[in-house]
Amino acid sequence: MRTNRFVFHSFDDNLEVRPADPVAMRNLNFGFFDDSGQPRESRILMFYSFETEERLARSGILHYHLLERRFVGPRHDSELTQAALAFLEKSGRLQTAS
């Protein structure tokens, strides 16, 4: 039996991101899903979660395509993807552009 593993990391305990709509993202967390079956050389699969100002939990999955240097799949708020890119760079999973 194969066990999938994922690790959540707090991006910043005081991080508050405001997307284009009036919903604020608080307690933004990211995690890697390393045993997703996707080739690590081409994609990074990660989870995100946050709370709204109304304390509603929101979560989802982001797919980052390394060769294309972009997120693929459903569109997400630019603030969320910018925070995810910063997390990928900080974690060492993504090389910063030279």
| Per-domain boundaries in the chain | 6-91
Positions of the chain with pLDDT lower than 50, given as ranges: 1-10, 13-15, 17-20, 22, 98
- What is the pLDDT at residue 71? 93
Dist CA 5 CA 57 (whole Å): 21
Dist CA 95 CA 18 (whole Å): 26
- What is the pLDDT at residue 36? 63
- What is the pLDDT at residue 94? 83
- What is the pLDDT at residue 49? 94
- What is the pLDDT at residue 70? 93
- What is the pLDDT at residue 96? 57
Contact call for residues 50 and 29 (beta carbons, < 8 A) = yes
Residue 27 is given by DSSP the state: E
User: Count of H helices and E strands in the chain?
Assistant: 1, 6
**Residue 37: CB partners within 8 Å, gap ≥ 6?**
none
pTM as predicted: 0.69
**Residue 69: CB partners within 8 Å, gap ≥ 6?**
none
